[in-house]
Amino acid sequence: MLNNRPNHVAIIMDGNGRWAKQQAKPRIIGHKQGVEIIQPIIKTAISQKIKVLSLFAFSCENWNRPKTEINFLMKLIASKLNQRTISTLNKNGVQFRWTGFTTNLPKTLLKKIMFLQATTEKNKKLILNLCFNYGGMQDITQAAVRFKHGESNDFAKLLLTKNLPNVDLLIRTGNEKRISNFMLFQLAYAEIIFESTYWPAYNEKKFLKNLSEYASRQRRFGTISEN
Protein backbone atom coordinates (compact mmCIF):
# COMPACT_ATOMS: atom_id res chain seq x y z
CA MET A 1 0.00 0.00 0.00
CA LEU A 2 1.24 3.48 -0.86
CA ASN A 3 2.43 5.73 1.98
CA ASN A 4 1.40 8.99 0.35
CA ARG A 5 -2.08 8.26 -0.89
CA PRO A 6 -4.90 10.63 -1.83
CA ASN A 7 -8.02 10.77 0.31
CA HIS A 8 -10.27 11.72 -2.60
CA VAL A 9 -9.70 10.43 -6.13
CA ALA A 10 -11.92 11.60 -8.97
CA ILE A 11 -11.97 9.96 -12.39
CA ILE A 12 -13.37 11.33 -15.63
CA MET A 13 -14.20 8.04 -17.35
CA ASP A 14 -13.61 9.08 -20.94
CA GLY A 15 -13.09 7.19 -24.18
CA ASN A 16 -15.89 4.62 -24.26
CA GLY A 17 -17.04 5.57 -27.75
CA ARG A 18 -13.55 5.85 -29.17
CA TRP A 19 -12.59 2.50 -27.69
CA ALA A 20 -15.63 0.93 -29.36
CA LYS A 21 -14.75 2.55 -32.69
CA GLN A 22 -11.22 1.22 -32.35
CA GLN A 23 -12.73 -2.25 -31.90
CA ALA A 24 -15.08 -1.70 -34.88
CA LYS A 25 -18.05 -1.99 -32.51
CA PRO A 26 -21.08 0.25 -31.78
CA ARG A 27 -20.61 3.01 -29.16
CA ILE A 28 -22.98 1.26 -26.76
CA ILE A 29 -20.54 -1.64 -26.48
CA GLY A 30 -17.97 0.83 -25.19
CA HIS A 31 -20.39 2.01 -22.50
CA LYS A 32 -21.16 -1.59 -21.49
CA GLN A 33 -17.49 -2.41 -21.18
CA GLY A 34 -16.85 0.83 -19.31
CA VAL A 35 -19.33 -0.10 -16.61
CA GLU A 36 -17.54 -3.41 -16.06
CA ILE A 37 -14.28 -1.60 -15.25
CA ILE A 38 -15.77 0.15 -12.22
CA GLN A 39 -15.83 -2.77 -9.77
CA PRO A 40 -12.10 -3.62 -10.03
CA ILE A 41 -11.25 0.06 -9.52
CA ILE A 42 -13.45 0.17 -6.43
CA LYS A 43 -11.67 -2.87 -4.99
CA THR A 44 -8.29 -1.28 -5.62
CA ALA A 45 -9.41 1.96 -3.99
CA ILE A 46 -10.46 0.01 -0.91
CA SER A 47 -7.17 -1.88 -0.77
CA GLN A 48 -5.29 1.44 -0.92
CA LYS A 49 -7.50 2.90 1.82
CA ILE A 50 -8.77 5.75 -0.34
CA LYS A 51 -11.70 7.41 1.39
CA VAL A 52 -13.66 8.84 -1.57
CA LEU A 53 -13.82 7.71 -5.19
CA SER A 54 -15.78 10.06 -7.46
CA LEU A 55 -16.69 8.87 -10.95
CA PHE A 56 -17.85 11.33 -13.62
CA ALA A 57 -20.32 9.29 -15.64
CA PHE A 58 -22.66 11.80 -17.27
CA SER A 59 -22.39 15.59 -17.53
CA CYS A 60 -25.09 18.21 -17.90
CA GLU A 61 -23.72 18.79 -21.40
CA ASN A 62 -24.10 15.12 -22.35
CA TRP A 63 -27.81 15.72 -22.95
CA ASN A 64 -26.67 17.09 -26.32
CA ARG A 65 -25.75 13.57 -27.45
CA PRO A 66 -28.06 11.49 -29.69
CA LYS A 67 -31.27 10.49 -27.89
CA THR A 68 -30.70 6.81 -28.61
CA GLU A 69 -27.36 6.91 -26.80
CA ILE A 70 -28.79 8.88 -23.88
CA ASN A 71 -31.68 6.45 -23.48
CA PHE A 72 -29.28 3.53 -23.54
CA LEU A 73 -27.07 5.12 -20.88
CA MET A 74 -30.04 5.78 -18.60
CA LYS A 75 -31.21 2.17 -18.91
CA LEU A 76 -27.68 0.84 -18.48
CA ILE A 77 -27.09 2.74 -15.25
CA ALA A 78 -30.54 1.82 -13.94
CA SER A 79 -29.91 -1.86 -14.68
CA LYS A 80 -26.72 -1.79 -12.60
CA LEU A 81 -28.35 -0.21 -9.56
CA ASN A 82 -29.90 -3.49 -8.51
CA GLN A 83 -30.02 -5.78 -5.48
CA ARG A 84 -26.80 -7.49 -6.51
CA THR A 85 -25.00 -4.14 -6.50
CA ILE A 86 -26.45 -3.30 -3.10
CA SER A 87 -25.23 -6.63 -1.71
CA THR A 88 -21.75 -6.13 -3.18
CA LEU A 89 -21.44 -2.59 -1.84
CA ASN A 90 -22.61 -3.62 1.63
CA LYS A 91 -20.29 -6.64 1.66
CA ASN A 92 -17.31 -4.43 0.83
CA GLY A 93 -18.29 -1.56 3.14
CA VAL A 94 -18.92 0.89 0.30
CA GLN A 95 -21.26 3.84 0.78
CA PHE A 96 -22.94 4.97 -2.44
CA ARG A 97 -23.54 8.65 -3.06
CA TRP A 98 -24.90 10.55 -6.01
CA THR A 99 -23.84 14.05 -7.02
CA GLY A 100 -25.94 15.65 -9.71
CA PHE A 101 -29.16 17.40 -10.68
CA THR A 102 -32.60 15.80 -10.86
CA THR A 103 -33.50 17.71 -14.04
CA ASN A 104 -34.43 15.37 -16.92
CA LEU A 105 -33.53 12.19 -15.05
CA PRO A 106 -36.07 9.36 -15.43
CA LYS A 107 -38.09 8.87 -12.25
CA THR A 108 -37.28 5.16 -12.15
CA LEU A 109 -33.55 5.89 -12.23
CA LEU A 110 -33.81 8.59 -9.58
CA LYS A 111 -35.77 6.23 -7.34
CA LYS A 112 -33.07 3.57 -7.64
CA ILE A 113 -30.35 6.13 -6.89
CA MET A 114 -32.10 7.28 -3.73
CA PHE A 115 -32.74 3.70 -2.60
CA LEU A 116 -29.10 2.74 -3.11
CA GLN A 117 -27.96 5.76 -1.11
CA ALA A 118 -30.30 4.91 1.76
CA THR A 119 -29.34 1.24 1.93
CA THR A 120 -25.58 1.84 1.98
CA GLU A 121 -25.35 5.02 4.06
CA LYS A 122 -23.84 3.27 7.11
CA ASN A 123 -20.88 1.80 5.22
CA LYS A 124 -17.50 3.34 6.10
CA LYS A 125 -14.66 1.79 4.06
CA LEU A 126 -15.16 3.87 0.92
CA ILE A 127 -17.54 6.51 -0.39
CA LEU A 128 -18.37 5.81 -4.03
CA ASN A 129 -19.59 9.13 -5.39
CA LEU A 130 -21.33 8.80 -8.76
CA CYS A 131 -21.41 12.14 -10.58
CA PHE A 132 -24.32 11.71 -12.95
CA ASN A 133 -26.06 14.66 -14.60
CA TYR A 134 -23.47 16.92 -13.01
CA GLY A 135 -21.71 20.11 -14.09
CA GLY A 136 -19.18 22.21 -12.18
CA MET A 137 -20.40 25.60 -13.41
CA GLN A 138 -24.00 24.64 -12.66
CA ASP A 139 -22.97 23.47 -9.20
CA ILE A 140 -21.24 26.76 -8.40
CA THR A 141 -24.19 28.75 -9.76
CA GLN A 142 -26.78 26.99 -7.60
CA ALA A 143 -24.52 27.32 -4.56
CA ALA A 144 -24.07 31.06 -5.22
CA VAL A 145 -27.83 31.59 -5.33
CA ARG A 146 -28.28 29.74 -2.05
CA PHE A 147 -25.34 31.65 -0.51
CA LYS A 148 -26.96 34.93 -1.53
CA HIS A 149 -30.16 33.85 0.20
CA GLY A 150 -28.22 33.22 3.39
CA GLU A 151 -28.59 29.44 3.58
CA SER A 152 -25.03 29.10 4.91
CA ASN A 153 -21.88 31.14 5.53
CA ASP A 154 -19.80 28.23 4.26
CA PHE A 155 -19.95 28.25 0.45
CA ALA A 156 -18.48 24.74 0.15
CA LYS A 157 -21.36 23.33 2.19
CA LEU A 158 -23.80 24.60 -0.45
CA LEU A 159 -22.16 22.68 -3.27
CA LEU A 160 -23.65 19.36 -4.31
CA THR A 161 -20.53 17.67 -2.93
CA LYS A 162 -21.25 18.95 0.59
CA ASN A 163 -19.47 17.04 3.36
CA LEU A 164 -16.99 15.50 0.92
CA PRO A 165 -13.32 16.56 1.01
CA ASN A 166 -11.87 18.40 -1.98
CA VAL A 167 -10.31 16.25 -4.68
CA ASP A 168 -6.65 15.30 -4.18
CA LEU A 169 -6.15 13.49 -7.47
CA LEU A 170 -8.03 13.80 -10.75
CA ILE A 171 -7.49 11.13 -13.39
CA ARG A 172 -8.89 11.60 -16.87
CA THR A 173 -8.72 8.66 -19.24
CA GLY A 174 -9.07 8.82 -23.02
CA ASN A 175 -6.07 11.01 -23.87
CA GLU A 176 -7.99 14.29 -23.52
CA LYS A 177 -6.33 17.10 -21.58
CA ARG A 178 -9.14 19.13 -20.09
CA ILE A 179 -11.43 18.90 -17.07
CA SER A 180 -14.70 19.41 -18.96
CA ASN A 181 -16.72 21.33 -16.37
CA PHE A 182 -16.09 18.79 -13.62
CA MET A 183 -15.90 19.87 -9.96
CA LEU A 184 -14.36 23.25 -10.76
CA PHE A 185 -14.40 24.44 -7.15
CA GLN A 186 -13.39 21.11 -5.64
CA LEU A 187 -10.40 20.67 -7.98
CA ALA A 188 -8.66 23.88 -6.86
CA TYR A 189 -5.50 22.12 -5.63
CA ALA A 190 -5.90 18.68 -7.13
CA GLU A 191 -3.04 16.88 -8.83
CA ILE A 192 -4.07 15.96 -12.37
CA ILE A 193 -3.08 12.95 -14.45
CA PHE A 194 -4.16 12.69 -18.07
CA GLU A 195 -4.18 8.99 -18.88
CA SER A 196 -3.91 8.01 -22.55
CA THR A 197 -5.81 4.75 -22.09
CA TYR A 198 -9.48 4.69 -23.03
CA TRP A 199 -11.70 3.93 -20.03
CA PRO A 200 -12.83 0.44 -21.18
CA ALA A 201 -9.15 -0.59 -21.37
CA TYR A 202 -8.27 0.93 -17.99
CA ASN A 203 -7.52 -1.51 -15.16
CA GLU A 204 -6.20 -1.95 -11.63
CA LYS A 205 -2.57 -1.93 -12.77
CA LYS A 206 -2.96 1.42 -14.52
CA PHE A 207 -4.85 2.80 -11.51
CA LEU A 208 -2.03 1.78 -9.17
CA LYS A 209 0.49 3.36 -11.54
CA ASN A 210 -1.47 6.63 -11.44
CA LEU A 211 -1.61 6.47 -7.64
CA SER A 212 2.16 5.89 -7.54
CA GLU A 213 2.70 8.96 -9.70
CA TYR A 214 0.57 10.98 -7.29
CA ALA A 215 2.64 9.66 -4.37
CA SER A 216 5.83 10.89 -6.05
CA ARG A 217 4.57 14.44 -6.39
CA GLN A 218 5.05 17.18 -3.81
CA ARG A 219 1.95 19.22 -3.07
CA ARG A 220 2.86 22.71 -1.88
CA PHE A 221 -0.48 24.57 -1.76
CA GLY A 222 1.22 27.87 -2.55
CA THR A 223 4.22 27.39 -0.26
CA ILE A 224 7.89 27.05 -1.25
CA SER A 225 9.47 23.62 -1.53
CA GLU A 226 12.42 22.97 0.82
CA ASN A 227 13.90 20.38 -1.54
CB 42 within 8 Å of CB 126: yes
pLDDT of residue 127: 98
What are the residue numbers of the active site?
14, 62
For residue 163, report the phi and psi dihedrals to the nearest 5 degrees. 75, 0
Residue 27 near residue 16, CB atoms below 8 Å: yes
Report the amino acid identity of residue 135. Answer: G
The DSSP symbol for 106 reads: -
Amino acid 99: pLDDT: 98
**Contact (Cβ atoms closer than 8 angstroms) between residue 73 and residue 31:** yes
pLDDT tens for the chain, residues 1 to 227? 667 899 999 999 999 999 999 999 999 999 999 999 999 999 999 999 999 999 999 999 999 999 999 999 999 999 999 999 999 999 999 999 999 999 999 999 999 999 999 999 999 999 999 999 999 999 999 999 999 999 999 999 999 999 999 999 999 999 999 999 999 999 999 999 999 999 999 999 999 999 999 999 988 777 776 65
Handedness of CA 216, 220, 224, 226 (dihedral sign): negative
DSSP 3-state of 221: coil
pLDDT for 3 equals: 72
N- to C-terminal Cα separation, the chain: 25
Distances (CA, A) of 6 to 124, 128, 148, 171, 195: 17, 14, 33, 12, 17
Predicted pLDDT at 2: 67
So what's the pLDDT on residue 150? 97
